[in-house]
C-alpha cells in the first residue's frame, strides 16, 4: 500500500475568457508529489506554470479564469470540491505560499509581527499575545538577527530580502505540509537569493514540508529541486530528476533551454538559442505547440499533439521523437 | 599602444537625499563614488553588481543623462564635460545607449520605422529616401523583417522590441554602445538570441560595449573584461578568465559562488554570508564591504582600500592585497 501522495494533479485544464477570446492557460497537466520532495516547475511566458500553482491554492480568479477539468488531491482530499471557506482553512495553514513581490503580498498597514501572528491566530487558535511571541521566534528562525525590531516594523521599512524572509516566516508559521514558492527570489539580488535558498533548504529539512518551486531560472532550480517539470504553452513537455534531466534532456525545448542559458565555465561556448518566440495564445500552432521552433520537427508534429509518455528513470516526455 | 576609446577618471555622482530620508547617511546618496576605468576600441567591458552599486547610474552619467558631481569622461581624446554645442552633438552620435525596458523606450504612438528614423531627424542626416533605405538595412541587420517597420511597438514581442532598440542605437553608426541590462526583461530563450545578436554585430562593426548587468553569467559570457561594482566603487577589474580562475575580492568570490549555474550543482559552494548591502551608504570610514566581509580585519574598518594593480591586467580594492 503506497504512501498517501502529498499532491496529486490529474488532467488539469484551466481556461481564461478574455476580450480577445478564450485561451487555454493549462491543459492536460498531471503530476504527483510525495511529502518532503522539492519539485520545480520551469517555463517561460505563457507556459502556465503560475496558473498551475494558483489552481492548487484555489486562487484562480473566476471570472475570467475557470478550472474546466481535472482533479487536485492534497493528502487524499479533493481540493476542487472544497468551498471557499474550507479552502481558506487549508491556505496559510496546510498549504502556504511565497510570491515574487513581497511588497504586494504584505499589508502595508500592519506590522510584520502582527501579520505573521495573524495566521497563528486564525489557523492555530492562538492568543494574540502568544502569537506575537511566536512570530518573533519565527523571524529568528528565518535568519533575522534582530527579530524583535523587525516584528515591530512595517513592510516599507524593510529591504526586499528582509521582506521575503518575513513572507517565509509567515508561510511557515503554521508548519505547512506544502510550500508553494512562485519566483520567490526573482526580485532579489543574487547574494540575497543564495541566502533565501539556503534558508528554504534548511527549513525544509527541519519541518519536512514539500516544496513546489516555480521559476524561469533553470540554474536556480538545479540547486534546489529533486525533480523538474518543464512546461510550454500550458502543457508539461518533460519531467525528470534534476541530475538526469540536465545531463540528458530529451525534449527539444528542454535541450534548447539548457543551450540558451549562459553559464560560467573555463571555455566560453556560443549560445544556441531557440529560434522564434512563444506563440500568441490566440493563435496556437496546430499539432505540437513547439513545432514551429523545433529543429527536429517531423511532419507528424505539425498536425498531431504528442502524448506525455513515461520512460525509464521516471522520465516523461511529450515528443514524437520519443513516442 | 592603442589609446583608449573611453576614459572615465575618478567619476563621482552624488544625489541629494530628501531630508525625510537622510538618517544616518546624511545629505548625499553617493551613487558613484570615485570610479575610474578605460574602454579600448573593439572591447566589451562588463559591469556587474547588485542593487545600489551604481552601475546603471554610471552608464547614464557617461551618456549624459546625469551631470557628474566630479571627475572626467574623456571620449576619443575629448573631454565630454567641457565640450559644448555642435562638437558635443557630433561626438554624442558615437555613443549610444540600449535600454533595459524595450517597451518603455519606444514611443507607443510611433511606428517602428519612425522610431528608427528619429535619430536621423534629430541630427539632420540623410535625405528621406536615404533614411528609408538605411532603416530597411538596419531592421534586417537585427533579424527582423521589413514589414515590421510599419508596425507599432505593442504588436511586437519583448525580444522584437529589443531588436528595434538595437537597430535605433545602430542608426548613427556609433563606436561605443552602452547596454544597460539589455536582456534582463526577456525570456531566457530570447535572451540568448539577443546576446548572440549583440556579439555578431560587434564582430561585424567592431564597436565597443559597456555591458551592464546584475547577471554574472551573462556578463561573464559576453565580456573581455569585467568590472565588479559595490556601493559606488569598482572593487575588482580583471579579464573574464581571471575573474573565473582567480577572483580576488571577497565580494567577487561571494558573487561567483552565489550565482546559480547549471553545471555547478555539486561544486563546493562558499556558504552564503549573512547581511545585506547597507543602502544607507558608508557612515564610517573604511571599506564599504567590511560589515559583510568574512575576511575583514582591523584596518578594513578604518581605511578605505584603493584600487591597486595585482598584475598587469588585474586590479583589486582590498587590504588583503595591498603590499
A208-216 mean pLDDT = 92
Provide the pairing of β-strand B233-239 with B44-48.
Answer: unpaired
Percent of chain A clearing pLDDT 90 (strictly above): 63
pLDDT tens-digit map of B37-82: 999 999 999 999 998 899 999 999 998 899 999 999 999 999 988 8
Q: How far is B146 from chain A (nearest CA, A)?
A: 17
Instruction: Determine the average pLDDT of the residues in A41-66.
Output: 93
The string of pLDDT tens digits covering residues A2-37 is 568 999 999 999 999 998 899 999 999 999 999 999
Q: How confident is the model at residue A318 (pLDDT cuts 50, 70, 90)?
A: very high
Task: Tell me the shortest Cα–Cα distance from A265 to chain B, in angstroms.
Answer: 8
Chain B contact present for A246, CB below 8 A:
yes
Is residue A195 over pLDDT 90? no
Mean predicted confidence (pLDDT) in A173-189: 89
Give me the residue from B189, B196, B259 closest to A44, CB to CB: B189
Q: d(Cα A15, Cα A68) in Å, to the nearest integer? A: 7
Contact predicate A168/A199, CB 8 Å = yes
pTM summary value: 0.88
Decide if A195 and B256 are in contact by the 8 Å CB cutoff: no
Nearest-angstrom CA–CA distance, A323 and B68: 62
> Residue A93 region, left (φ>0) first, then alpha (ψ -120 to 50), else beta?
alpha
Identify the CA nearest to B250 among candidates B240, B258, B239: B258
What's residue B268's pLDDT?
40
| Spatial separation of the C-alpha atoms in residues B27 and B21, rounded to whole Å | 9
Contact A139, A165 (CB under 8 A): yes
State the DSSP code for B53: S
Q: Are B212 and B178 in contact (CB under 8 A)?
A: yes
Go through A55-86 and write b for each residue having 16 or more CB atoms within 10 A of its CB, e for each that does not: bbbbbbeeeebbbeebebbbbeeebbebeeee
Using alpha carbons, list the distances in angstroms from residue B158 to A24, A254, A289, B189, B278.
Answer: 22, 21, 20, 12, 34
Q: Mean pLDDT in chain A?
A: 91
Query: Are B228 and B197 a contacting pair, CB within 8 Å?
Result: no
ipTM of the complex as predicted: 0.84
Rounded Cα distance, B121 and B117, in Å: 7
Q: Beta B308-311 vs A77-78: how paired, if at all? A: unpaired
A–B CB contacts, 8 A cutoff, strictly below: 131
The three-class DSSP label of residue B294 is: coil
Q: Are A159 and B279 in contact (CB < 8 Å)?
A: yes
Kindly determine whether residue B221 and residue A268, on different chains, have CB atoms separated by under 8 Å.
yes
CB contact under 8 Å between A271 and B192, yes or no, is yes
Q: Which residue has the cell 546625469?
A: B66
Contacts of A241 in chain B (CB under 8 A): none
> Which percentage of chain A shows pLDDT scores above 70?
99
Residues of B with CB under 8 A from a CB of A: 50-51, 157, 159-160, 187-193, 195-196, 199, 214-218, 220-221, 240, 244-245, 254-265, 271-274, 276-277, 279
Interatomic CA distance for residues A307 and A147, integer angstroms: 51
Cα separation of the two ends of chain A: 31
Which among B28, B209, B193 has a CA at the least distance from the CA of A256? B193
Res B61: pLDDT:
94
Helix (H, G, I), strand (E, B) or coil at B57: helix
The minimum CA-CA distance between A274 and chain B, rounded to whole Å, is: 6
DSSP category for residue A216: S
DSSP state for residue A210 in the 8-state scheme: E
Q: Does A263 touch chain B (CB under 8 A)?
A: yes
Instruction: Please list, in sequence order, all residues whose beta carbon lies within 8 angstroms of the beta carbon of residue B74, skipping any fewer than 6 positions away.
Output: B6, B7, B8, B9, B80
Q: Give, for all 323 residues of chain B, the pLDDT tens digit.
A: 789 999 999 999 999 877 655 555 567 888 999 999 999 999 999 999 998 899 999 999 998 899 999 999 999 999 988 888 888 888 888 999 998 888 888 999 999 999 999 999 988 899 999 999 999 999 999 999 999 999 999 999 889 999 999 999 999 999 999 999 999 888 888 899 999 999 999 999 999 999 999 999 999 999 999 999 999 999 999 999 999 999 999 999 999 989 988 764 444 444 566 666 655 455 567 898 998 898 989 899 888 899 999 888 999 999 998 76
Burial of B192 (0-12, 13-18, 19+ CB in 10 A): buried
Q: Does A273 touch chain B (CB under 8 A)?
A: yes
- pLDDT given for residue A65 in this prediction: 93
Report pLDDT digits (tens) over B240-257: 999 999 999 999 999 998
Amino acid at each position: 500500500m503506497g504512501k498517501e501522495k502529498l499532491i496529486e494533479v490529474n488532467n488539469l485544464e484551466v481556461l481564461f475568457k478574455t476580450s480577445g477570446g478564450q485561451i487555454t492557460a493549462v491543459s492536460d497537466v498531471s503530476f504527483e508529489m510525495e511529502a518532503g520532495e522539492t519539485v520545480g516547475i520551469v517555463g517561460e511566458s505563457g507556459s502556465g506554470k503560475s496558473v498551475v500553482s494558483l489552481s492548487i491554492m484555489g486562487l484562480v480568479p473566476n471570472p475570467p479564469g475557470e478550472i474546466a477539468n481535472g482533479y487536485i488531491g492534497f493528502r487524499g482530499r479533493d481540493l476542487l470540491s472544497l468551498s471557499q471557506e474550507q479552502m481558506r482553512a487549508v491556505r496559510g495553514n496546510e498549504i502556504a505560499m511565497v510570491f515574487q513581490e513581497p511588497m504586494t503580498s504584505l499589508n502595508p498597514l500592519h506590522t510584520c509581527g502582527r501579520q505573521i501572528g495573524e495566521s497563528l491566530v486564525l489557523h492555530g487558535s492562538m492568543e494574540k499575545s502568544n502569537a506575537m511571541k511566536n512570530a518573533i521566534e519565527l523571524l529568528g528562525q528565518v535568519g533575522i538577527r534582530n527579530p524583535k525590531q523587525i516584528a515591530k516594523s512595517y513592510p516599507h521599512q524593510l529591504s526586499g530580502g528582509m521582506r521575503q524572509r518575513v513572507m517565509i516566516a509567515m508561510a511557515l508559521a503554521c508548519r505547512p505540509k506544502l510550500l508553494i514558492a512562485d519566483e520567490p527570489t526573482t526580485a532579489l539580488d543574487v547574494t540575497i537569493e543564495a541566502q533565501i535558498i539556503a534558508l528554504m533548504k534548511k527549513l525544509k529539512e527541519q519541518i519536512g514540508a514539500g516544496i513546489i518551486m516555480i521559476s524561469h531560472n533553470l540554474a536556480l532550480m538545479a540547486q534546489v529541486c529533486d525533480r523538474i517539470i518543464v512546461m510550454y504553452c500550458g502543457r508539461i513537455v518533460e519531467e525528470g530528476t534534476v541530475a538526469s534531466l540536465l545531463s540528458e534532456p530529451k525534449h527539444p525545448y528542454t535541450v534548447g533551454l539548457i543551450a540558451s542559458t549562459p553559464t560560467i565555465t573555463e571555455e566560453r561556448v556560443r549560445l544556441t538559442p531557440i529560434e522564434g518566440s512563444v506563440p500568441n495564445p490566440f493563435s496556437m500552432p496546430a499539432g505540437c505547440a513547439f513545432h514551429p521552433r523545433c529543429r527536429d520537427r517531423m511532419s507528424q508534429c505539425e498536425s498531431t499533439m504528442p502524448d506525455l509518455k513515461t520512460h525509464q528513470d521516471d522520465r516523461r516526455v511529450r515528443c514524437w521523437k520519443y513516442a | 599602444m592603442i589609446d583608449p576609446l573611453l576614459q572615465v577618471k575618478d567619476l563621482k555622482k552624488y544625489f541629494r537625499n530628501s531630508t525625510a530620508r537622510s538618517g544616518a547617511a546624511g545629505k548625499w546618496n553617493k551613487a558613484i563614488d570615485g570610479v575610474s576605468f578605460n574602454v579600448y576600441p573593439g572591447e566589451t567591458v562588463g559591469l556587474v553588481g547588485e542593487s545600489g552599486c551604481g552601475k546603471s547610474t554610471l552608464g547614464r552619467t557617461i551618456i549624459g543623462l546625469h551631470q557628474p558631481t566630479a571627475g572626467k569622461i574623456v571620449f576619443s581624446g575629448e573631454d565630454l564635460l567641457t565640450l559644448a554645442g555642435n562638437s558635443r552633438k557630433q561626438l554624442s552620435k558615437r555613443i549610444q545607449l540600449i535600454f533595459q525596458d524595450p517597451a518603455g523606450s519606444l514611443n507607443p504612438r510611433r511606428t517602428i520605422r519612425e522610431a528608427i528614423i528619429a535619430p536621423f531627424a534629430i541630427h539632420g542626416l540623410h535625405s528621406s529616401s536615404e533614411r528609408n533605405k538605411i532603416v530597411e538595412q538596419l531592421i534586417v541587420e537585427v533579424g527582423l523583417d521589413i514589414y515590421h517597420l510599419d508596425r507599432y511597438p505593442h504588436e511586437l514581442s519583448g525580444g522584437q522590441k529589443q531588436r528595434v532598440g538595437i537597430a535605433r542605437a545602430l542608426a548613427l553608426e556609433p563606436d561605443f554602445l552602452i547596454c544597460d541590462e539589455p536582456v534582463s526583461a526577456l525570456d531566457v530563450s530570447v535572451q540568448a538570441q539577443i546576446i548572440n545578436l549583440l556579439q555578431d554585430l560587434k564582430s561585424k562593426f567592431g564597436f565597443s560595449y559597456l555591458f551592464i548587468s546584475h547577471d554574472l553569467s551573462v556578463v561573464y559570457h559576453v565580456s573581455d573584461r569585467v568590472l565588479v561594482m559595490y556601493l559606488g566603487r569598482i572593487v575588482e577589474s580583471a579579464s573574464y578568465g581571471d575573474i573565473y580562475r582567480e577572483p580576488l575580492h571577497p565580494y567577487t568570490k561571494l558573487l561567483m559562488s552565489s550565482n546559480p549555474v547549471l553545471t555547478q550543482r555539486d561544486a563546493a559552494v562558499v556558504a552564503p554570508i549573512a547581511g545585506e548591502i547597507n543602502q544607507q551608504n558608508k557612515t564610517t570610514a573604511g571599506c564599504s564591504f567590511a560589515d559583510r566581509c568574512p575576511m575583514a580585519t582591523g584596518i578594513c574598518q578604518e581605511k578605505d582600500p584603493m584600487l591597486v594593480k595585482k598584475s598587469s591586467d588585474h586590479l583589486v580594492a582590498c587590504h588583503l592585497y595591498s603590499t
